[in-house]
Structure 1
């Protein structure tokens, strides 16, 4: 975080300053801001966030013992540490993030990119950050820090030397992207796609479209919207951008895209294609598994292009990326038995893309094995979408379909109904049961996809399998 006095911080969050030790109102703080006391070190700021399981206020003394300079609290705590008392610590870190980013931006160097979409946000964020980090100091979210807590905490990592801030904006309901993006008014807003991920929280895909459009509406006048030319719903955002004096850069695989991919070929070592911009044609070898990640790469390249990064440099930097993120199409195991752990998140679109990738990278003589768990937050669409995944797995001729967890049982039933009844599809209540089955079932040449939403917990099953066959 930038250097701020205690008085300035209290004013930014409209809080009551309670001094401790040798602190005065003019004491300067510049440490990291975090909600986890285990991450706190000397000079840092601890945010005592109440949670569903525990209350951050219980850990203020531990933060003080770790050397924290300040605690942001909702009520005074009996601990030897300076505190700023506010009604709502989540609202307070948002207000502090707004102030910090505004101060740095006033220096004229900081450029801000916001990214949203039903799928691909974290991968695109990581790819873009890799491109930009060679241009100057770049701040981007750790993991999927994209909600009302994670996004402001990322913004608060900005310093006076930061040149680029890449923010990822997720949402479980209307208005959340508007609030988060409104803290920073991005120079560039990237919208990847509009699908059914989290549709249960929005009330349908049209409401999801409206929510994702909030990012385009938050881009500063004179800024750039980077939009998916292949998604008809995203295309409608072009008119929204034009009405706000925001220019549009289109990416995709179709002819309408300004930056597009042609000659796409998929293998077990990654995806190759030709990147086309006008008369320029440049090869890209993306080592991140999955044809669907070409769209994420295109989005990152187009955003970087809007920021003035040469196309050849962007492509060269992308080619150094081996995995997008842990638990996202992460290759594990060995050439003998390859495990692809993609169980951090799942939606109908990403589930279909992962299954198609499994089919594409499996060579003759090798078996396709899909270990599948539930897709969460689909609301009324959950049943039919799990049905679709079961049907697709059978139609892609997946030789073994291993379904795990009660919430995914309908996927198993759908696979059987489609014609997978001779042992191809099996069901287990727990990941431990599935692990025991797979340890006896897998054989040389198998290519195994592990895919589910985070809540299903199959990412840990993927890790166990990867270690067992490494």
Structure 2
């Protein structure tokens, strides 16, 4: 964190120092809400969770070197007392952001946020010291936590902006106002919070609408809902796309072995890119990241070189590895919605394999009354991609099997030998079925909303030999 005195921190949080806190003490480390991660000179944010009360670990944090604790009740160590710890870290992040000169890049969209954020982070790191959202720390806690990691020397701050309702992205932007805002796409996701794709588009548009005239809005020309956001921003608009004319685009697109190659074209020139990331959906992600880097002053050839070097950084996202017997595993189990599931299935269809293509598909959550249609569509996409066997896991995924069998393929439920599509009640049953069905040389995709296929992925991961 940018060094601040406890007195300054208390003022920023509208809090009060307790008697044991030294107002002149300087906080030089970061802020942590896990006491085990607190380091010398840092702050410990004591949150009252559903299962654990952070205040019980205040003394431990100070013993580990914390300069003070941010607390909402009395603790026997140096502390800043506040009414609400979650609001306090947001207020602290606002102060840290105001004291920083870092260029801030915000990324949002229904799909691809984390992968694109990772790519932008790699590109910015080639320009100078960079802080980027870890994993998907993109909510009301993870976002300010990331901002508080800024140091005086940080030149670039890359933030993933998520929302489950209107106003959420605006709230995140107010903490650390972006100079560049990237909108990837608008799709069917989190309908429990948004209610409709139109509301989702309105929520995503909060990022370009927040930008001022000195900012840059990077918009997907291939997504009509995103492209129309150009009319609602005061910022300079830079477009990216594959199918429609754009400022930053991909020519000579070659699917190769599932790790796509293309010629990157920007207003300043062109250069070849050979992605290490699996799946065609990473092409627009790479273009969006390249557009951000181009606006930050990076040359086209350097952008292409960094994109070609970038590997997967976040867990359970198109993590492709090979077992000792030649079986290939595609672990994309971190989360799922209709667009990301379709992209993963298409990637499975493109990966070279000596054996069969097997898709293990878990529930796509939060789809409300569109759930049945979306799951049936996933089965249809698997059939179209040439998937040889499909395993649908858990309640709500039965339509995946129906969609897969819609073209007249063999359709048996319950794991009968030779079945092309099988529905199983849970992950344990899916693992049992894979034990009997998986053969050397097969390629297996594991996809589902959070936790719903993780046990399957972990079973396969335990057999891991080496990554590709």
Task: Write out aligned runs for 1:134-173 (5 A).
Answer: 134-173=126-165
User: Structure 1, residues 82-128: CA drift from partner, whole Å, max 9, x if none?
Assistant: 111212111111111010110123xxxx2110110001111011111
The answer to whether the 8 Å contact 2:26/2:41 transfers is: no
1:358 matched to 2:348? The reply is: yes
| C-alpha distance in structure 1 between counterparts of 2:79 and 2:178, whole Å | 31
* Cα distance in 1 for residues equivalent to 2:49 and 2:260: 42
User: 1:391 is matched with which residue?
Assistant: 380
Match of residue 424 from structure 2: 428
**1:462 matched to which residue of 2?**
457
TM-score (norm 2): 0.94
Aligned partners of 1:121 and 1:192 also within 8 Å: yes
Q: Within 2, Cα distance between the matches of 1:324 and 1:43?
A: 29
1:189 is matched with which residue: 181, 191, 197? 181
Map 1:40-51 → 2, pairs under 5 A: 40-51=38-49
Q: In the alignment, what sits opposite 1:251?
A: 240
Give the count of matched residue pairs: 457
Question: How far apart in 2 are the matches of 1:70 and 1:416?
Answer: 61
Residues 330 and 341 of structure 1 are in contact (CA less than 8 Å); yes or no, is this contact kept in structure 2? yes
Instruction: Determine if contact 2:258/2:279 at 8 Å carries over to the other structure.
Output: no
Q: How far does residue 216 in structure 1 lie from its aligned partner after superposition? A: 0.9
Tell me the residue number matched to 1:99: 95
Note if contact 2:360-2:393 (Cα within 8 Å) is conserved in structure 1: yes
Which of 67, 86, 89 is residue 85 of structure 2 equivalent to?
89
2:255 counterpart of 1:260: no
Does structure 2 conserve the Cα–Cα contact (< 8 Å) formed by 1:270 and 1:287?
A: yes
- Tell me how large the CA RMSD over aligned residues is: 1.7
1:116-151 CA distance string (max 9 Å, x none): 000111101111111111211000011001000001
Q: Give the deviation of 1:39 after TM superposition.
A: 1.2
User: Is 2:57 aligned against 1:59?
Assistant: yes
Moved more, 144-153 or 50-59: 50-59
Q: Does 1:401 align with 2:390?
A: yes
Matched, 1:119 2:117: no
User: Moved runs in structure 1, 4+ residues, more than 4 A?
Assistant: none
Kept in 2, the 8 Å contact 1:352–1:392? The answer is yes
On the 8 A contact 1:138/1:162 being kept in 2, the answer is yes
Q: 1:263 to 1:72 in 2, by over 3 A?
A: same
CA distance in structure 1 between the aligned counterparts of 2:13 and 2:155, rounded to whole angstroms: 25
Native 8 Å contact 1:333 1:466 kept in 2: no
Q: Which runs of 5+ in 2 are unaligned?
A: 413-418
- Residues in 1 aligned to 2:355 and 2:339: alpha-carbon distance in whole angstroms: 25
Partner Cα separation in structure 2 for residue 258 and residue 325 of structure 1: 28
Tell whether the 8 Å contact from 1:112 to 1:166 is kept in structure 2 after alignment.
yes
How much does 1:469 deviate?
5.2
Structure 1 residue 287, shift from structure 2 partner: 0.6
**TM-score by structure 1 length?**
0.93
Per-residue CA deviation, residues 199-232 of structure 1 (Å, 9 max, x unaligned), is 2211111111111011112223311000000000
Uncovered stretches (5+) of structure 1, i.e. residues with no partner: none
Secondary structure of residue in 1 paired with 2:329: strand
**C-alpha displacement of 1:382:** 1.9
Compute the displacement of 1:336 (Å).
Answer: 1.1
Match of 2:449 in 1: 453
CA distance in 1, matches of 2:401, 2:46: 43
